[in-house]
Structure 1
């Protein structure tokens, strides 16, 4: 009996020791110290190759770092282990989800679930996180899995934390708040749950309250790195949503991100996360420095070409931008995102521009527009980004190139800039057909301009200049009836805004009256004279009106 007791105690001690082996690694993962966690887990696996859970945790880190080959290797090793092997089916299931094979993933998850006891919840949490962390997150499936786990063990803090994340991803703020609150109440050492309460405030644009919540976390543990990343992202959003605070808040954001880096690690993966944030913060000088540091650390990682390309373009080195982005997008195995094509398209357009930026090589322009089109095809909301690109060209008076960009921008009617992009499209086409070197205006281009101004008027009937430029466009098209109609509509819209607005637009009223008179000269002389008299009431010495009145007598 004594021998049995000793054996039982030894077994319990061994079990506890094995669990404790993984605790430092799990804490490092939660603190986003991924290189430290990888090192700890590799040591565990080397000492105990039978530890399948260690292999699973290591594989999930590689998945977080987008290194799927290494993740797969460790999941396969873990599957052959004698302890915790089934967890690795969850990792392999996430790889299936990333490959858009949900049926294969579910089959692997089912293998895990059928072995579970009534009170087991850990596996459910990992399955739910596989759904959430997949390339195409499936939050509803995660919620369904976690609801089962919560039913089995409603006081499990990790289940509640995962539920909070799932509800947050599913845009259910209320249930997310309840779950995070429960998680922290059930285990007040679970500091991430408390931090996530601040994340909810950030999402609700309650930035002051979010910062206060993060400071409460820092008061508990000033070395908890993720809270500084959340602070950085909060100040970034704060600056973008309240422009007058932009400079101050972006400076704070960058400082907090540096703090986050110092508390996690400076690995190539962490540097890439930092580079992604620098893109958001538009700190391209710092991005270029970071990209070159990454190049020294890992000269073969293709994503470095992205950061070199973006920063080189923004810092005025078009050739480096072109070379970097062409090399990156030419490899189909790279994960290309719409912004890659946005920058490549801009680089080509800029490369083909003359010194003053007005004339752009047609071949380079066509190739650049093709790349911008690829970006919009990949993600229609990328059309939002085209407004700034088109406006730069418009301000340079490169109206042909600007028109090509805005024509692409308005292909997405859901773009937040749809109205203004149509106005710029119409104006770009109009001005491109009034250049001094134009022998004859292009009627097809002008018809597109007419449609664009029509879109503006439909969406915003009080936008007066849309009527004015539509009238001018129809004058170039020699469509006198429509020209007169739109000039009259311009007059009506401005007049309805009051005498002050009419006074500000005196010259445009004279233009309108004279052109309406010209259109009516051969069909309604009385009305034509009425228009000319209105011109002379505003400008008694107007040469055109005086001469036209003589001809109409």
Structure 2
């Protein structure tokens, strides 16, 4: 018995040592999650679900890593296993609510979160993770603040909850409250790097970039290997670049280097590299983005987001042949809940870029249907319609763009006017049977667009004057009883074009057209043969192939010299 007591006594330290090792391992996994070393954390947690299979918390944190990595199905499976181990696991019900929120299942969100709170008792962790779930995209900061405030009442000294509440207040544009929450957390744990970084992010959104940098440096002084500080610093550099054009090039370059430091401190997992891709997308570095996601797309089973980004970057790089299959794959496999209007924008542009204009136009129209703020897409639609010679529809699309967009320029009015002009011309010279009746309203719309440009431009524009002349020439219904509607516009075009000598080669056909029209005025309206010959002569001088001038001189039976 004495020996047995000694053996038992000797075994006690080993038992407690094993318990401490487990506790430390779970703590290490949580630290890895905080450091955004997700592969490392996932490996630890998978091991813990085997070696400590009865601990429901292990399954929760594994599921939460899956949430962060955008694998909702795997997360749901982990949370369900956690509840199977402990039917009263409040935190795993919080996890199931997070999955339901990603799946847009509002009934399941409510029931799971309610169950989590019912079972939580004095444990503030379920409140913290319900709050984090509400901050997943699309964030509901109000709901997060409500539940986190209740959690704070349960335990006012939970620093993780306080930082999460700060994040919710920041998103709700309650900056003072957010700063107070972060400082409360730091009063409890002065070395809480996530709280220090959160303060830096708060200053970033206040555009106080120098103050942001101070906080990131402070976080790195506590832990030089804290990767999220470098990531937040990189994202701050990017915002700095967008807000200060003079600093843009330097800050984008600096931000990219900071992000590379972040990657070096994570496990360079697929998910970390996808976060880098997120950064490159925001930075508008589509060349580097395409290179990065092309490599990622070769990894079996990689996140579908990679194919989305491959499509986006390839479109921006005008590599439409690469973009179209990438976007098609993403849309086919992502599921309706993951598809956003922007996906249809890039699908449409890829389709148009590969010559599938009709399909592309339909995709862009779908994007507008899903997000009515995307009014600038009417310009893309108009451009595609114009390229495919659907001029009247193009004019209508330009009209929609001009009416709804805040980025309209005089060039857009020119494009609209040209579209309606060519639409009328197409009707006039149509070979269809039955032949359509030309719609004079198209001329009116074109004329209105051109007139608007001349009124708003700082000086009259020669090209616009030429189109005004052409529109008004089509208003002449009887060439034997010509009224001369186009005359002042052709004369203005001549004056504007010949003001600079020598005349540009590109303007010579237009000048020939203008002089030939004036020739017809003198020939048929004013009956002044000398003036007619003079103007027809100038037309022939600028364009020896001008048919109107050639007709006149052939009719005269000579060269006209």
In 1, Cα distance between equivalents of 2:327 and 2:160 = 42
Equivalent runs, 1:317-466 vs 2, <5 Å: 317-331=319-333, 333=335, 335-352=338-355, 364-384=356-376, 406=398, 409=401, 413=404, 418-421=405-408, 423-434=410-421, 438=425, 440=428, 443=440, 463=456
Match for residue 105 of structure 1? Answer: 109
How far apart are residue 165 of structure 1 and its match? 0.9
In 2, Cα distance between equivalents of 1:371 and 1:213 = 45
In 1, Cα distance between equivalents of 2:411 and 2:126 = 55
Which range moves more in the overlay, 96-105 or 261-270?
Answer: 96-105
Look up the SS of the partner of 1:380 in the other structure.
coil
Residue 258 of structure 2 corresponds to residue 256 of structure 1: yes
Match for residue 131 of structure 2? Answer: 128
Which range moves more in the overlay, 195-204 or 211-220?
Answer: 211-220
In 2, Cα distance between equivalents of 1:453 and 1:50 = 77
2:235 aligns with one of 229, 233, 255: 233
How far apart are residue 75 of structure 1 and its match? 0.7
Give the 3 Å change call, closer, same or farther, for CA 465–322 of structure 1 in structure 2.
farther
In 2, Cα distance between equivalents of 1:453 and 1:144 = 57
Give the 3 Å change call, closer, same or farther, for CA 511–213 of structure 1 in structure 2.
farther
Q: TM-score, normalised by structure 1?
A: 0.72
How far apart are residue 262 of structure 1 and its match? 1.3
Aligned residues: 469
2:298 aligns with one of 288, 296, 299: 296
In 2, Cα distance between equivalents of 1:173 and 1:292 = 40
In 1, Cα distance between equivalents of 2:388 and 2:335 = 39
Look up the SS of the partner of 2:191 in the other structure.
coil
Give the 3 Å change call, closer, same or farther, for CA 149–325 of structure 1 in structure 2.
closer
How far apart are residue 23 of structure 1 and its match? 0.8
In 1, Cα distance between equivalents of 2:465 and 2:342 = 34
Q: Which runs of 5+ in 2 are unaligned?
A: 429-437, 476-487, 496-517, 527-561
Match for residue 277 of structure 1? Answer: 279
Equivalent runs, 1:14-93 vs 2, <5 Å: 18-82=22-86, 85-93=89-97
Match for residue 527 of structure 1? Answer: none
Match for residue 483 of structure 2? Answer: none
Match for residue 535 of structure 1? Answer: none
In 1, Cα distance between equivalents of 2:443 and 2:264 = 57
In 2, Cα distance between equivalents of 1:126 and 1:82 = 18
Give the 3 Å change call, closer, same or farther, for CA 386–430 of structure 1 in structure 2.
closer
Cα contact 1:89–1:109 (8 A) shared by 2: yes
In 1, Cα distance between equivalents of 2:222 and 2:386 = 52
Look up the SS of the partner of 1:309 in the other structure.
helix
Look up the SS of the partner of 2:297 in the other structure.
helix
Cα contact 1:402–1:425 (8 A) shared by 2: no
In 2, Cα distance between equivalents of 1:132 and 1:451 = 50
Cα contact 2:304–2:334 (8 A) shared by 1: no
Equivalent runs, 1:195-214 vs 2, <5 Å: 195-214=197-216
In 2, Cα distance between equivalents of 1:322 and 1:448 = 36
Cα contact 1:52–1:84 (8 A) shared by 2: no
Cα contact 1:63–1:71 (8 A) shared by 2: yes
Equivalent runs, 1:516-535 vs 2, <5 Å: none
Which range moves more in the overlay, 445-454 or 50-59?
Answer: 445-454
In 2, Cα distance between equivalents of 1:70 and 1:188 = 35
Cα contact 2:368–2:377 (8 A) shared by 1: no
Look up the SS of the partner of 1:419 in the other structure.
coil
Equivalent runs, 1:477-492 vs 2, <5 Å: none
How far apart are residue 28 of structure 1 and its match? 0.7
Cα contact 1:229–1:256 (8 A) shared by 2: yes
Is the radius of gyration larger for structure 1 or structure 2? Answer: 2
List per-residue Cα deviations over 1:124-171 (Å, max 9, x = no partner). Answer: 1112112222x4322212111111222233333222111101111222
In 1, Cα distance between equivalents of 2:50 and 2:328 = 42
How far apart are residue 428 of structure 1 and its match? 0.8
List per-residue Cα deviations over 1:306-342 (Å, max 9, x = no partner). Answer: 2332333333432222222223324462622223222
How far apart are residue 174 of structure 1 and its match? 1.8
In 2, Cα distance between equivalents of 1:83 and 1:21 = 24
In 1, Cα distance between equivalents of 2:377 and 2:206 = 24
How far apart are residue 48 of structure 1 and its match? 0.6
In 1, Cα distance between equivalents of 2:315 and 2:271 = 23
Look up the SS of the partner of 2:120 in the other structure.
coil
Cα contact 1:399–1:428 (8 A) shared by 2: no
Cα contact 2:398–2:416 (8 A) shared by 1: no
Match for residue 150 of structure 1? Answer: 152
